[in-house]
Structure 1
Amino acid sequence: MSLSNIFAISGSAMSAQTVRLNTVASNIANADSVASSVDQTYRARKPVFEQMMTEEMRQRGWSASDDVMEGSAGMGVHVAGIVESDAPLKARFEPDSPMANEEGYVFYPNVNPVEEMADMMSASRSFQTNVEIMNSAKSMMQKMLTLGQS
């Protein structure tokens, strides 16, 4: 693997973690929203990551040398989709609420704020790790250039 491929791999991981952070932000923002029916209630969303194979990376415009890509099975990650949680919604008896249905219940999302905060911290750390990987690769490439001039 050449150093230039590290940028493509880390870049794909950073893009995936950005989607993860945005999904967490959406979940937290909607954690206290209410609805009068199960169908209208916000459901927690989670991104699904998938290993990107070499041909997929070419199709998505990632650049890497052909000799390196031919010998590699996986060269990055992408978001295959975003799925809604099937955890049960929270129904609360609040007959005075303007959002209450005819039985007096309002429905709250199945968002667990503690889980979302842990997910946010994990995504943030993963993003930062990939930034550090890119910085290390950049430093190594600069060092190689200075060695080549000697």
Structure 2
Amino acid sequence: MDALQAALRVAGSGLAAQSARLRVVSENMANVQSTGTVPGADPYRRKTVTFASELDQLSGMDLVQVKDVGTDPTAFSVEHDPGNPAADSDGNVKMPNVNMIAEMTDMRETNRSYEADLQVIKQSRDLIAMTIDLLKGSS
């Protein structure tokens, strides 16, 4: 039973970490066109998530945690858009360093990891229920 509870804790930590990652990916996608508000201002900068392994004192297992939500140092692209309020004197606007293909890939990977963790939780819950039923039957 302890192994099943440990599996639940590990999968639960994975769910929490992937939820945080999905929030960051969603924010990046929502801001793919968010430029600065004044001429020459920097636009939205893509956010990144870093995970870390953390020892859980109760189970003795390594759990995944969000270590940091940082920013991507990749350079901004520049587009010519003289009508944009963020355009400089030459009519150029700095655009966010968000790549939609990369974000979609991250979203797909995050979704698959989340589903795998959810499946572990479902299977562990079913095994715990079966164990309890077996213990009830032997009494």
Q: TM-score, normalised by structure 1?
A: 0.82
* 2:64 is the alignment partner of 1:77: yes
Shift of 1:97: 2.5
* 2:36 is the alignment partner of 1:49: no
SS of equivalent residue, structure 1 residue 2: helix
Tell me how far apart the structure 1 counterparts of residues 66 and 126 of structure 2 sit (CA, whole Å): 29
SS of equivalent residue, structure 2 residue 14: helix
Q: Provide the aligned C-alpha RMSD in A.
A: 1.5
Tell me how far apart the structure 1 counterparts of residues 86 and 47 of structure 2 sit (CA, whole Å): 23
The runs of at least 4 consecutive aligned structure 1 residues that moved more than 6 Å come to none
Shift of 1:53: 1.3
Tell me how far apart the structure 2 counterparts of residues 16 and 97 of structure 1 sit (CA, whole Å): 37
Counting only pairs closer than 5 Å after superposition, residues 37-116 of structure 1 correspond to structure 2 as 37-38=40-41, 40-55=42-57, 64=58, 68-69=59-60, 74-116=61-103
How many residue pairs match? The answer is 134
Percent identity between the two aligned chains: 25
- Tell me which amino acid in the other structure corresponds to 1:32: Q
- Tell me which amino acid in the other structure corresponds to 2:15: M
Q: Which one is further off, 80-89 or 21-30?
A: 80-89
More relative contact order in 1 or in 2 (CA 8 Å, sep 6+)?
1
